Structure 1
Amino acid sequence: MATQFQNRLVGTLILVSLGVIFLPDVFDGEKAHYEESYQAIPLRKEVDESVLTEPIQAPEQVESFMPPEDPVMVTIDEPVVSDVEAAESSAPKEGYTDSAWIIRLGTFRNIENAKNLVSTLRGKGYPAQLMPRDIKEGDLARVEVGPDVSKEKLESMTADLESLTGLKGQLLRFNPLNP
């Protein structure tokens, strides 16, 4: 026969084991399940099918800004010449017999030196400029005097420019499309 102490011990063990099993569920409350809420991105937009079946309307008649009797003809015959090739050959090309001339004094890597030379030349009355106009640090800058349509006038300036700056300039044709 079991003693009273053994009965109490077994009863206590049963109560403790039931408490260990069921009390966490009671005190934990309702469990929340977390799910990511997202929406799938469609692969392409939905297309309104009625747009595809609508007839295309004819364009409105608009007056042209150009007269119809003078059509514009564009022909491209000449190959594009780079700055280096233009500098090497200053021979007149077809169609440029009455073009302007420039004196290229030099090409500078230091932009400040080129700007100082241009300001000095402008102070003395020469039409000097820095090319290209939108120069960035590290690019090569060309100092040019001109353009002028009189080649003789620029040739007479070369001696004055050489004595003023110490640079012997090159007399080149001015190309307004590729300065």
Structure 2
Amino acid sequence: MATQFQNRLVGTLILVSLGVIFLPDVFDGEKAHYQESYQAIPLREDFDETLLQTPIEAPEDVDTFLPQDEPVSVTIGDDVDNGHTDDVTAEGRMPVADDNALPKTGYADSAWIIRLGTFRNIDNAKNLVTTLRSKGYPAQLMPRNVKEGELARVEIGPDVSKDNLAAMTADLESLTGLKGQLLRFNPLNP
């Protein structure tokens, strides 16, 4: 026995549910369908067949500047004054070249540098370089992108004239208190 209120409530729910289902389709209007334009990817690209028939030229022989496997005189430790050296071959380990050794052919007209010192504290090395530059010396820090904890060398030069740099050593010693070494500049391994 359903009451009149229950019948009206059920009827209202049915009409509302039908409205929720069908009214959006009525008010939406005509639907537009979008189709993407695309092009098919070719399976194989066309190319010039004559390229397969042309011969390939042999590479040219070029002289290289790589070091040869020769014994190298290496100074061990702080025994520079007494001339204690060992001959080390390039087999098994990298040879360490002596800075005072005669240059290879082609570097006879090389430049010269003054190495003032090697520093572990980068700030001290940078301060020394700025002091020297403010006094007019062509000072530089080598290697240029040195990181904290690595060794940094302070160098003056390079200069083609060995006599000009030799004249600077006394002035640099009085200015910095460091006795610099006059060394040959190697452009391949500065």
What is the CA-CA distance between 1:57 and the residue it aligns to? 3.5
Count of residue correspondences: 117
**Cα distance in 1 for residues equivalent to 2:95 and 2:126:** 21
Amino acid at match of 2:172: L
**Cα distance in 1 for residues equivalent to 2:166 and 2:174:** 14
The runs of 4+ residues in structure 1 deviating greater than 4 Å are: 80-84
Query: CA distance change for structure 1 residues 83 and 148 in 2, over 3 Å: closer, same or farther?
Result: farther
Query: CA distance change for structure 1 residues 77 and 140 in 2, over 3 Å: closer, same or farther?
Result: closer
Instruction: From 84, 101, 123, give the equivalent of 2:134.
Output: 123
TM-score by length of 1: 0.57
The share of aligned pairs that are identical, in percent, is 67
Question: Structure 2 matches for 1:96-115, cutoff 5 A?
Answer: 96-115=107-126
Indicate whether 1:159 and 2:148 are aligned: no
Question: Structure 2 matches for 1:43-122, cutoff 5 A?
Answer: 57-59=49-51, 73-76=62-65, 78-79=67-68, 84-87=96-99, 89-122=100-133
**Cα distance in 2 for residues equivalent to 1:90 and 1:119:** 30
* Larger RCO (CA under 8 A, 6+ residues apart): 1
Please tell me the root mean square deviation across aligned C-alpha atoms, in Å.
2.9
Structure number having the greater helix percentage: 1
Structure 1: runs of 5+ lacking an equivalent:
1-49, 61-70
Report the equivalent of 1:141. Answer: 152
**Cα distance in 1 for residues equivalent to 2:134 and 2:164:** 19
Q: Which has the larger radius of gyration?
A: 1
